[in-house]
Structures are given as C-alpha cells and as structure tokens.
Amino acid sequence: MDALRRNILKNAGGVGMIGLAIGAGLLKPTLALADWNKAAFDAKTVPEAVKALGAVNAAESKEIIIKAPDIAENGVVVPVEITSNIPGTEYIMILAENNPTPLIADFDLTNGAMGYVAIRIKMGKTGPVRAVVKANGKLYTAAKEVKVTIGGCGG
Amino acid sequence: MEPMRMRATLQGDVADIKLLINHPEETGLRKDPKTGQIVPAHFITNITATVNGKKVLSAQWGVGISKNPFMGFKVKGAKAGDKVVVTWVDNKGETQTGETTIGS
C-alpha cells in the first residue's frame, strides 16, 4: 500500500484547473445535495434501504463476487471489492447489514465503466456485506459474512 | 485541503483507476473523547468520475465510508492519455475536483 501511495502522490494531477475554477466561483459544482437519497441512507434495515432505492426482490447470484476479509480486526476500515460478472451491469449498491444504517453507497456505472468497485467501509459489528446489482434492468444480489473484532461505527 | 491522490493505469483497453481523498468522514455518532460532545456529521455524499468528459461513475455515499476514502473502479475502452476527472461534494457543501491522465 505504501508503494501505491507514493505512486499516487507522484502521478496525482492535484486539484487542477477545474477545481480552481470551482473554488473561485467560476463554475458551479455539477453535484447537488438534492441528488442524495436521504431516506435510503437513514434507513435502519436492509429492506427499508433497498425499498427507498427501488431495488426490491433482487435474485441471488453467484456471478457477483464480494472480496472482503473473513475477519476484520478493525471495523473502522474494511476493504471491500465488488465484481459483477453479469453482462450489462449498470449499478452496484453496497450494504453492511448490521450497521446502524446499513446502506454504505451506490454507484451508477456508464460509458464503459465495468461491474467493479473497490471501497473501504466502516462496520459496526459482525454481519453480511451485501451487494445489489442492476444489469439490463434486472436486480441481482449476493452477500459475504465479515467477522468484526472491534466495531468501527463510533469513528 | 490536501489534493486528491489519483492513479490510472491501463491493462489492455481497461483503465484501472484508484483514488484517495483526504476527508474526516465523521458519522455524527462519535463523541469527542476530550469534550464528550458529539462530533457533527461531515461526510462525502456524492462523487462522480468522467473519462474524456463522459460520465463513467456517479455514486452516493453515506456515513459508512471509511475516513480518508479510497475508491477503485475500471473503465473499458480507455486508452493512454485519456483524462480522468473526479469530483466530490460533502454534506457541508464542500467540494473538490482531481484529475489525472491514464498512463500506459
């Protein structure tokens, strides 16, 4: 990881002109808080969260590979990689089922983005990490159990 | 604000893009150990990525993303020299954009 960090440091483009333009008020950020699904992120259970995102009744699929540690010593940083081998994957949602609010993130993938995301998540306690995938308009899901030794939701 | 750290490498026609963001990612549940006061929520809510101006990724993030977030994604049909631009915004309206060029 240290080598990666060094390489990233060396190759980073930094904030760049667009960032400077936004900072100077010349360009408005294209992102708005309104794009954030509060109901889904505030949901206390997986069914509530997926319902708020309109992603109910996903079919279990072995074509979704969840790479995460079997045992996470520290729930503050749990590396998770989701790979969907389902053709036409256009969307990936990640949930930590036993977190106080299970929805971690969701990703719309377009213009050649593959069915893959890597992210580091917080886990409050042991439980399944679940992925919900949309491919060609159909929903699929898979889960992997991660045992958490020290919970990470206070941090 | 520290610049975003980005790396984009090419394997065949697939760009492997990794980035690190400097951000506290406060859940709003944590108590400051010194004062006993709840530390207000401060977390990234939205992040987007483009390759040569075309949107490839648009994500919503909640409080479950770890501090100083890492994200990796892959884009098929990319070539060396393509420009990758990533922008995030957080729940306080702070925003940052980083860019890099896909290496061979």
Q: Report CB contact under 8 Å: B57, A108.
A: yes
Query: How far is the first Cα of chain A from the last one, in angstroms, to the nearest whole number?
Result: 22
Q: Report CB contact under 8 Å: A8, B45.
A: no
Structure letter (DSSP) for residue A136: T
> What is the residue type of A80?
V
> pLDDT tens digits for A61-99?
999 999 999 999 999 999 999 999 999 999 999 999 999
CA-CA distances (angstroms) from residue B37 to A42, B28, B86, B90?
A: 22, 10, 34, 22
The answer to whether residues A74 and A120 touch, using CB atoms and an 8 Å cutoff, is no
Which pLDDT value is given to residue A1? 44
Euclidean distance between CA atoms A129 and A93, whole angstroms: 11
Which positions in chain A touch B46 (Cβ < 8 Å)?
31-33, 35-36
Which pLDDT value is given to residue A150? 80
Euclidean distance between CA atoms A127 and A151, whole angstroms: 11
What is the ipTM, given to two decimal places? 0.96
Structure letter (DSSP) for residue A122: -
Once rounded to an integer, what is the mean pLDDT over residues B80-104? 95
Q: Report CB contact under 8 Å: B19, A8.
A: yes
- Residues across chain A: 155
Which pLDDT value is given to residue A151? 72
The answer to whether residues A110 and A91 touch, using CB atoms and an 8 Å cutoff, is no
The answer to whether residues B44 and A93 touch, using CB atoms and an 8 Å cutoff, is no
Percentages of chain B per state (helix, strand, coil), in multiples of 5: 0, 55, 45
Euclidean distance between CA atoms A32 and A96, whole angstroms: 25
Lowest mean pLDDT among A102-111, A113-122, B12-21, B24-33: B24-33
Q: Is 80 exceeded by the pLDDT of residue B50?
A: yes
Q: Is 50 exceeded by the pLDDT of residue B27?
A: yes
Return all residues near A72 (Cβ < 8 A) that are at least 6 apart: A78, A123, A146, A147, A148, A149
Selected residue of A10, A15, A90 to mutate for chain B interface (largest B Cβ count, 10 A):
A15
Which residue(s) pair with A17 in the sheet? Answer: none
Name the CATH topology of A33-150.
Answer: Immunoglobulin-like (2.60.40)
Domains of chain B: 5-101 (2.60.40.10)
Band (A12; pLDDT cuts 50, 70, 90): very low
> pLDDT tens digits for A30-42?
444 458 999 999 9
Which positions in chain A touch B5 (Cβ < 8 Å)?
5, 8-9, 12
Domain ranges in chain A? 1-30, 33-150
